[in-house]
Chain A
Amino acid sequence: MPELKKILYADDEPDIRDIVALTLSSLGGFDVKACENGADAIAAAGTFKPDLILLDVMMPGLTGPESLSVLRGEEATAMTPAIFITAKARPEEVEELIQHTRTGIITKPFDPMRLPDEVKSIWARLSSE
């Protein structure tokens, strides 16, 4: 069973981005590559080769789902598990997000102290799909 080490993360909200990055690196001990938008994440993916992609849904430019579509076309990230972080709470919206393969959801607001465990748990589940 491979280990979760590298997380490619994109969120346009700097506060959230800082907290998530800090939590995952400081508490979870992961190698986190935090990007301001989807395009940066796509650019970094080839060299970073993440074990997990973490994407905010509502981002200017490429949205989270659009960014994932591009990443799924890249060899390095074609099968990489991905998690959307979203404040969307309507069931039909959530349903639409998890249409992609190997995709999970974490809804805002989340408990930062539990975030590393939650991310690890979802990653393990998606990796075995």
Chain B
Amino acid sequence: MVKIDNRNLDRDLLEILTALHQDSLRDITNDEQSFKRFDDTLEKIRRVAGSRCAILAEAIYNNIGEKAGCELAGHAGFDSRETAFVYLTQTLEKAAQNVSADKVGHCDHILSDYEDVYVLEHQGDVLGLLRLDGLAAADWKRLAPVTEAFTTAFASRARRRELYEQLDVFKEAFEATAEGYVIYDPEDRLYYCNAAYKNLYDKSRHLMKIGARFEDILRHGLEQGQYPEAGDTPEEHEFWLQARLMVHRRPTHSVIQRIDNDRWLKIEERKTERGYTVGVRADVTEIKQNEEALRKSEMEASRLALVASKTNNSVIITNEKGTVEWVNDAFTRITGYTSDEIIGKKPGELLQGPGTDPDAISYMRSSLAAAHPFKQTIFNYDKSGKPFWNQIEVQPIFDDEGHLTNFIVIEQDVTREKTSELALKRSELKFRYVVDMAPVGILQTATDGRFVDCNETFQKLSFSTKNELISQDFHQIFAKMPAAEREDYLKHVEEEGRAGPVEVSLKSDVRESSVVINSLIVNIPGSMPIVWTILQDITERKRIERLKSEFISVVSHELRTPITAMIGSIGLLEGGVFGTLSEKQAAMLKLASSNAARLKTMVDDILDSEKIENGNLILEPEEFDLIELLSKTVEEFRPYCADREISVEFSTAVPEARTVADRGRIEQIILNLLSNAAKFSADNSAVTVALDESEGNFRLTIADEGAGIPSEALPHLFDRFYQVDGSDKRSRQGTGLGLSICQAIAKAHGAEIEVESEVGCGSTFRFNLPRAA
């Protein structure tokens, strides 16, 4: 006896239907209320009928239920389904009292012997059939049409169940395969797909629901970058999509599709007679990869064959003992030996000679014996005996089991490179020697200041060894240089490529050296730029300068004391302090006086020149009247020219002339120019001093009618110690410092003395001074 639990039966059936036709059954599977009602009804029947009734409740909803419900009402002579239900319930209640226990459970006979079967209906749905013993024949007859309708329905259900079972078999089969299977309906909506299909298009998995449009699934995958062959731009994507849709809708051939960059699919699509599209996706990645590897391998082999035949390098294949089995044409070109001459021999037997380095041979032999790859450049000889440098690269070849089978030897004639390399090495050595022996310090730093190298002289000058310098940079090495000056210097190097000369000190704890540095960036292609800093040792020069300065100071003091005594005593005599002098005495005293004055001027000039050279010329500017100064100076100077009857005249084009300058120094310039003018003037000539205005400044002009200056002398006129080489012995008097001092004083005032002169036509000197504010 089989006892059927109708609810389970229904639920099992629903599950099957749900799996295959989810959409059409959605409402029912979600309608918990319907189940509840059904359960309530069954419970009610149980309560009424007790354990003596068997229930066959076939939940056949919708199309079958509706139709059967109507038939129940019409064929059974009820005026409505409600009336039928009331009747049924009442009958049921009555019959229940007569149900015998031995009839319980005979439900499996219901279809062949359906006496005493009742239809259970609730709210328009046929819920099931109830068989009860002892039902009156008349009652049964009234229900006969209903049971007929259900007989048909059950038969149909049995057929469907069979079909579902078949479907399950197919479904299981599809799900078990590695290929992706898919069915699209005639409107191109997803009808079915297996798990493999979903896995292949994983990025679109969530869209793969029954009824989803193929185009939507495809477009989504495209947006997710699932199809690398579809291009990059939106236009390319659209073109690819339309092409794919076209093939999909009218499939004629298989398609190879690349997805997610690393997978390849072979797509087979066919149309069924009903218009469905059945597709199979096979993952052919491995096949494609094998094909690609094979293609590459063939191409590689083809290239290698080409290289071996066309290369300028010798290619040799030997057996595991190093005996030659094959050589290319280049071997013959380089060595002169034909393949017949070398095959069966070891290369060294023919190529090595007296100049070949025995250590190199030993290294090569031990490497071959150990089956190690190696590269070596050795001295070889070709067939004619001509030596050449041979660069040999040897690679051992092993079989799959790791046994040595061959050596592949690539040889290259590198004589030219080797010769250049040796020449370069010699050149580098010479350069290194020159740098090391150079009397100047040479420091190499990186552009960020890091120490790179230095020569011997640099180590002496910096009182440091190379080991001490290696951890330092430019800033630490030249720490005595003020930081701002150092930054400026390096910035200049970086921007201009060079800097200097700059005077700096290098100091140890006890010693100090003075150097002048110049730097230059040296850029050699292929290597990092290096800043070369050259140090010229000026320690001794500085010491001598200091000595000279001290010497001049001492000498000037020692000279000035006797000059003071001379000028003082002569001045007292000339001043008549000791009585009136005779004419001859006065003349002699004047001679002594003028020579003492010359001596004083010379000492003053030397001191001034030293001050200018050391940058110690210090001005004491004040505001004063230029007209008053010029008048006074001309007035005081005039007596010196009286005996040669040279007139000295001053004229001014401006009524007043207040300027700001060092009065004493300006007077020094005027006196010097006047003195020169008078010195080179002929007797009975004129020297003029004029003051006027030029471009807002006062312009002083001192002109003479003297011999003039040759044009070739003009550019050097203001050089130190320069004297015009004239026949006139007066030109040789003096130190040759006067004009250079005058020009330095003028320049310290922001002015410049200009000269115009022509031989025989006199000279004119001019310079400007500013108007006082």
Which residues in A have some Cβ–Cβ distance to B below 8 Å?
Answer: 13, 15-16, 19-20, 22-23, 26-27, 58, 87-93, 107-113
B575 within 8 A of A: yes
In the complex with contacts A91-B611, A91-B616, A15-B560 CB distance below 8 A:
no
B77 within 8 A of A: no
- What residues on A are CB-neighbors of B199 within 8 Å? none
CB <8 Å contact, A112 and B561: no
CB <8 Å contact, B571 and A88: no
CB <8 Å contact, B553 and A112: no
Residue on A with the closest CB to B565?
A15
Q: CA of A123 to CA of B695 in the docked complex: distance in angstroms?
A: 43
CB <8 Å contact, A87 and B571: no
CB <8 Å contact, B571 and A111: yes
Q: CA of A111 to CA of B570 in the docked complex: distance in angstroms?
A: 10
In the complex with contacts A58-B557, A89-B556, A109-B560, A22-B577 CB distance below 8 A:
yes
Residue on B with the closest CB to A114?
B571
B717 within 8 A of A: no
Residue on A with the closest CB to B574?
A113
B755 within 8 A of A: no
Interface centre among B559, B561, B566, B568 (most CB of A within 10 A): B568
CB <8 Å contact, A109 and B616: no
CB <8 Å contact, B564 and A16: yes
Of A23, A89, A91, A92, the contact of B568 (CB 8 Å cutoff): A23
Q: CA of A88 to CA of B616 in the docked complex: distance in angstroms?
A: 14
Q: CA of A113 to CA of B569 in the docked complex: distance in angstroms?
A: 10
Q: CA of A23 to CA of B600 in the docked complex: distance in angstroms?
A: 20
In the complex with contacts A26-B577, A91-B611, A109-B600, A19-B557 CB distance below 8 A:
no
Q: CA of A19 to CA of B561 in the docked complex: distance in angstroms?
A: 12
B563 within 8 A of A: yes
B618 within 8 A of A: yes
In the complex with contacts A16-B561, A27-B575, A89-B556, A112-B611 CB distance below 8 A:
no
Q: CA of A88 to CA of B555 in the docked complex: distance in angstroms?
A: 10
Of A88, A93, A111, the contact of B567 (CB 8 Å cutoff): A111
CB <8 Å contact, B571 and A112: yes
Q: CA of A89 to CA of B574 in the docked complex: distance in angstroms?
A: 27
CB <8 Å contact, A108 and B561: yes
Q: CA of A108 to CA of B611 in the docked complex: distance in angstroms?
A: 17
Of A90, A107, A113, the contact of B553 (CB 8 Å cutoff): A90
Q: CA of A8 to CA of B561 in the docked complex: distance in angstroms?
A: 20
CB <8 Å contact, B569 and A19: yes
Scoring B residues 493 to 528 as 1 if CB is less than 8 Å from chain A, else 0, what string do you get?
000000000000000000000000000000000000
Q: List 28 A-B contacts (CB under 8 A).
A: A13-B561, A16-B565, A19-B564, A19-B565, A19-B569, A22-B577, A23-B572, A26-B572, A27-B572, A27-B575, A87-B558, A88-B553, A88-B557, A89-B553, A89-B611, A90-B553, A90-B611, A107-B560, A108-B564, A109-B560, A109-B566, A109-B568, A110-B564, A110-B567, A112-B569, A112-B571, A112-B572, A113-B572
Of B553, B559, B562, B577, the contact of A27 (CB 8 Å cutoff): B577
17 new A-B contacts, CB < 8 A, other than A22-B572, A108-B560, A109-B560, are A13-B561, A16-B565, A19-B564, A20-B568, A26-B572, A26-B577, A27-B575, A87-B557, A87-B560, A87-B561, A88-B553, A89-B553, A89-B556, A93-B553, A108-B563, A109-B568, A110-B564
Q: CA of A23 to CA of B577 in the docked complex: distance in angstroms?
A: 9
Residue on A with the closest CB to B577?
A26
Q: CA of A71 to CA of B500 in the docked complex: distance in angstroms?
A: 52
CB <8 Å contact, A19 and B568: yes
Interface residues of B in 600-625 (CB under 8 A from A): 600, 607, 611, 616, 618
Residue on A with the closest CB to B571?
A112
In the complex with contacts A13-B561, A88-B553, A89-B556, A113-B571 CB distance below 8 A:
yes
Distance between A127 CB and nearest chain B CB, rounded to angstroms: 22
Q: CA of A92 to CA of B569 in the docked complex: distance in angstroms?
A: 30
Distance between A96 CB and nearest chain B CB, rounded to angstroms: 13
Distance between A109 CB and nearest chain B CB, rounded to angstroms: 4
Distance between B605 CB and nearest chain A CB, rounded to angstroms: 12
Q: CA of A87 to CA of B552 in the docked complex: distance in angstroms?
A: 11
Q: CA of A22 to CA of B569 in the docked complex: distance in angstroms?
A: 10
CB <8 Å contact, B577 and A109: no
- What residues on A are CB-neighbors of B618 within 8 Å? 91
Q: CA of A88 to CA of B603 in the docked complex: distance in angstroms?
A: 12
CB <8 Å contact, B616 and A90: yes
- What residues on A are CB-neighbors of B561 within 8 Å? 13, 16, 87, 108
Residue on B with the closest CB to A94?
B618
Q: CA of A19 to CA of B570 in the docked complex: distance in angstroms?
A: 10
- What residues on A are CB-neighbors of B559 within 8 Å? 87
- What residues on A are CB-neighbors of B562 within 8 Å? 15
Distance between A90 CB and nearest chain B CB, rounded to angstroms: 6
Q: CA of A20 to CA of B571 in the docked complex: distance in angstroms?
A: 12
Distance between B396 CB and nearest chain A CB, rounded to angstroms: 83
Interface centre among A13, A20, A112 (most CB of B within 10 A): A112
Distance between B30 CB and nearest chain A CB, rounded to angstroms: 110
- What residues on B are CB-neighbors of A27 within 8 Å? 572, 575, 577
Q: CA of A58 to CA of B558 in the docked complex: distance in angstroms?
A: 10
Q: CA of A87 to CA of B567 in the docked complex: distance in angstroms?
A: 14
Distance between A107 CB and nearest chain B CB, rounded to angstroms: 8
Q: CA of A107 to CA of B600 in the docked complex: distance in angstroms?
A: 12
Residue on A with the closest CB to B606?
A89
Q: CA of A23 to CA of B572 in the docked complex: distance in angstroms?
A: 7
Q: CA of A16 to CA of B572 in the docked complex: distance in angstroms?
A: 12
Distance between A91 CB and nearest chain B CB, rounded to angstroms: 5
Q: CA of A93 to CA of B610 in the docked complex: distance in angstroms?
A: 15
- What residues on B are CB-neighbors of A91 within 8 Å? 611, 616, 618
Residue on A with the closest CB to B573?
A112
CB <8 Å contact, B568 and A110: yes
- What residues on A are CB-neighbors of B558 within 8 Å? 87
Of B556, B566, B568, B572, the contact of A87 (CB 8 Å cutoff): B556
Interface residues of B in 442-468 (CB under 8 A from A): none
List 5 A-B pairs, minimum CB-CB distance, nearest first.
A87-B560, A19-B568, A109-B564, A87-B557, A15-B565
- What residues on B are CB-neighbors of A22 within 8 Å? 572, 577
Scoring B residues 558 to 601 as 1 if CB is less than 8 Å from chain A, else 0, what string do you get?
11111111111101101101000000000000000000000010
Q: CA of A26 to CA of B559 in the docked complex: distance in angstroms?
A: 26
Q: CA of A91 to CA of B571 in the docked complex: distance in angstroms?
A: 28
